[in-house]
């Protein structure tokens, strides 16, 4: 057997995760890691205590495959007050190992080999491989720089070519866009006109910094039946390592998603699911504080980036900045990202990893700001050396 045939075709062409490559480079060089989006500050104390208690209380065996009934009830309550969605915990919710598994299970459950799936780009790095593993074909539609808006005619052309679904991420990783209601309505109208599913990753739903509330695509008229809403606890409660995600979907879709989820992972960590119900019942003030903290972190990073000669919008949501470094005279994003990590001491993610073809992203790099203010200040001091 030749070396090449020892691994399957479906994985052979997947690039290494650029986020992980840059995180490793950051630790090799002692750089401030603004590449991988995970908080370097603590999760809420009550939540940590609840996890300890759940283990002591012997929540040690398999969780209910659909998700802990208590957690699903808490998620249904949250879907009502926050998202404005009418959700039955037994019929509409599946708890998964992070939004990552939620997306994978959803695609396996809904998409046939040979189908086309519209992916807005720049895209979070898993969406295209997920689609390819399902044997489907991603069809890319660009969010055009500098403000990362889509052209409705380009989107219509992609639907007209026969797409079965569209994947959107709102608020958006990596651009920080929060789609306007009008943009969401355009997407919804096309889904209805072309009888397509919408798979909407709303994991950053509580991180919105503009003066318009988060709108779940599923709440637009006619969309509830054809939308799978994905979210999770990782970003809202700063527990990316707990791997708690979920899907909200119509009962027939939920049955299929649960079957895929059962095969992939059986269920996610039982004690962490029990603990998570505490977080979902935090007072509303928690979310206001979370947003205010992120607005300050965003300001530190954006100011430093502009000071160093990079161009970017203020991200409207999520915790990333997609910055254009063209003015700095580097050849491409990988060269710049390596230089920044190795020589300046700040790691970011090359923009090309969020695009197909990759060349579309070669003037961009992504930074995250889910870090302590002192971490962001340390990064700012280092970034200031870029201009010297």
Mask of contacts with ligand GLN, 168-197, x by CB under 6 A?
-----x------------------------
Alpha-carbon gap, residue 301 to 381, rounded angstroms: 11
- Minimum gap (Å) between residue 7 Cβ and ligand GLN: 21
Helix axes 45-56, 270-280, angle to 10 degrees: 140
Contact 179, 170 (CB under 8 A): yes
Q: Which residue is nearest to ligand GLN (CB)?
A: 37
Q: Tokens for 293? A: 């903290």
Identify which of 282, 314, 310 has the alpha carbon closest to the alpha carbon of residue 297: 314
Other residues' Cβ atoms within 10 Å of the Cβ of residue 30 = 9
**Per CB under 6 A, does 17 bind ligand GLN?**
yes
Interface with ligand GLN includes 37 (CB under 6 A)? yes
CB nearer to ligand GLN: give 37 or 176. 37
Using CB under 6 A as the binding rule, whether residue 36 contacts ligand GLN is answered as yes
Question: Max alpha carbon distance in the chain (Å)?
Answer: 61
Between 35 and 158, name the residue whose CB sits nearer to ligand GLN: 35
In terms of CB distance, is 54 or 337 closer to ligand GLN?
337
Nearest distance from C-beta of residue 240 to ligand GLN, angstroms: 7
Nearer to ligand GLN, 115 or 125 (CB): 125
- Nearer to ligand GLN by Cβ, of 23 and 254: the residue is 23
Asked if 19 interacts with ligand GLN (CB under 6 A), we say: yes
Q: How far is the CB of 99 from ligand GLN (least distance, A)?
A: 8
Is 323 one of the binding residues for ligand GLN (CB under 6 A)? no
The DSSP secondary structure of 346-357, one letter per residue, reads: EE-EEGGGGSSS
| Strands 137-144 vs 116-121: parallel, antiparallel or unpaired | parallel
Q: Smallest Cα–Cα separation from 118: which of 143, 148, 139? A: 139
- Residue 53 to residue 243: CA distance in whole angstroms: 18
Return residues touching ligand GLN (CB under 6 A): 17, 19, 36-37, 173
């Amino acid at each position: 057997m030749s070396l090449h045939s020892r691994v399957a075709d479906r994985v052979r062409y997947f690039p290494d995760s650029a986020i992980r490559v840059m995180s490793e480079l950051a630790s090799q060089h002692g750089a401030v890691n603004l590449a991988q989006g995970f908080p370097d500050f603590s999760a809420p104390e009550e939540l940590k205590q609840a996890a300890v208690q759940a283990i002591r209380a012997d929540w040690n065996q398999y969780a209910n495959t659909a998700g802990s009934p208590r957690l699903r009830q808490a998620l249904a309550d949250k879907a009502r007050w926050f998202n404005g969605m009418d959700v039955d915990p037994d019929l509409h919710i599946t708890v998964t190992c992070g939004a990552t598994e939620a997306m994978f299970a959803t695609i396996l459950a809904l998409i046939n080999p040979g189908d086309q799936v519209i992916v807005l780009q720049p895209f979070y790095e898993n969406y295209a491989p997920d689609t390819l593993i399902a044997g489907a074909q991603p069809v890319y539609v660009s969010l055009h720089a500098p403000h990362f808006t889509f052209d409705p005619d380009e989107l219509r052309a992609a639907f007209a070519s026969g797409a079965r679904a569209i994947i959107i991420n709102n608020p958006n990783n990596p651009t920080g866009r929060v789609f306007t209601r009008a943009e969401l309505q355009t997407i919804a109208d096309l889904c209805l006109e072309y009888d397509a599913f919408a798979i909407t990753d709303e994991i950053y739903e509580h991180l919105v910094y503009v003066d318009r509330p988060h709108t779940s695509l599923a709440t637009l008229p006619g969309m509830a039946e054809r939308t799978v809403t994905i979210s999770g606890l990782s970003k809202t409660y700063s527990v990316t390592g707990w791997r708690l995600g979920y899907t909200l979907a119509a009962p027939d879709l939920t049955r299929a998603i649960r079957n895929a989820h059962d095969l992939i992972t059986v269920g996610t960590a039982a004690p962490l699911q029990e603990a998570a119900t505490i977080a979902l019942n935090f007072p509303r003030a928690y979310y206001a504080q979370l947003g205010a903290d992120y607005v300050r972190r965003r300001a530190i990073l954006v100011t430093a980036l502009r000071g160093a000669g990079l161009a970017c919008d203020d991200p409207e949501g999520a915790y990333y900045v997609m910055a254009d470094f063209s003015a700095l005279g580097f050849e491409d994003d990988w060269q710049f990202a390596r230089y920044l990590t190795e020589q300046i001491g700040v790691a970011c993610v090359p923009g090309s990893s969020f695009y197909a073809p990759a060349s579309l992203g070669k003037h961009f790099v992504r930074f995250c700001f889910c870090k302590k203010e002192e971490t962001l200040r340390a990064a700012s001091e280092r970034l200031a050396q870029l201009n010297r």
